[in-house]
Amino acid sequence: MQKLNDLSRSSNPLDPDGTLIAVIELSLLSWLVAGIVPGVERQPLKKLAVDENALLKLLHRWREEAAKAGHRIKRIAVAFEAGRDGFWLARWLRARDIEAHVIHASSVAVSREHRRAKTDRLDTELLKRSFLGWLRRERDHCKMVAIPTTQDEDAKRPNREHESLVGEQSRIVNRMKATLIRLGIRGFNPKLKKAAERLDGLRTPEGEPIPPNTRAELRRDMARRRLVSDQIRQIEHARLERLKQAPSDGPHAMVRLLARVIGVGVETADMLRGTHDRWP
């Protein structure tokens, strides 16, 4: 029995005579579209510029080819792998009555018997086989990613920016510490408020001051760290304001529940909730 919200196989039975199937290999400069068109023996492959309207015209043209071959298309199913382009194309297609799916990239089985050639043509064939098996409701072909709304995606941005900024702050601090250690200076905390003022008084084990170019670099790194730290505080302040304004809202209620039950801080609770949102 199929589970509720099971994205490992289609919830709708496949009618191969009335379904036009297409997969897209997305890249920065072009899209390679491969299709399975009922009544058409050849399996078409078309390279397009990055243009959603051209893609829609192509799908409609293939539908007309199926109609000429005596097949009335009732369903157009399109899929592509999750990647840099995100979910906008799937939302755009769905708004135009095209069934669009986003394949979880790590769920597509790849042969490990030998080194696999990497070409867009081979990738589309692999995607076609995986997507066709998924549409047939067979197991272990691929899994789909739940397609979020624009609002859902936007709600995740603060968490992801916060995570990125925390990592950047750590990299800056580690770089400053490494710079000082190369000069033999240990035990100096570059995160202190008066760290910039104390730079001129620091001495190497040889009794020499920090060389001018290195000192200038450290001052710039300290300025970057202060900027990043201020941005982190802004995000955390905005998060607390959102919780105050809508404490019972769906994700906010989960954050409060995690903070209360598990006993973690608001930042950690929101991070855990954001991690849950990224699960496929």
pLDDT surpasses 60 at 201: yes
Q: How far apart are CA 74 and CA 11, in angstroms?
A: 16
Tell me the pLDDT band of 267, cut-offs 50, 70 and 90: low
Write down the pLDDT at residue 62: 97
Q: Is beta strand 99-103 parallel, antiparallel or unpaired with respect to 75-81?
A: parallel
pLDDT in tens, 96-127: 999 999 999 888 866 545 455 455 556 888 99
pLDDT in tens, 60-95: 999 999 999 999 999 999 999 998 898 999 999 999
Q: How far apart are CA 271 and CA 252, in angstroms?
A: 12
Residue 225's CB: how many other CB atoms inside 10 A?
Answer: 21
**Residue in 89, 90, 92 with CA at minimum distance from that of residue 100:** 90
Task: Report residue 156: phi and psi, to 5°.
Answer: -85, -15
pTM: 0.75
Find all residues with CB under 8 Å of 137, minimum gap 6, and list them.
2, 9, 10, 13, 14
Element (H, E) at 129: helix 120-135
Q: How far apart are CA 86 and CA 218, in angstroms?
A: 38
Q: How far apart are CA 212 and CA 193, in angstroms?
A: 21
Alpha-carbon 68 to chain mean position: 40
Alpha-carbon 41 to chain mean position: 37
Q: Residue 80 in contact with residue 25, Cβ under 8 Å?
A: yes
Q: How far apart are CA 77 and CA 6, in angstroms?
A: 18
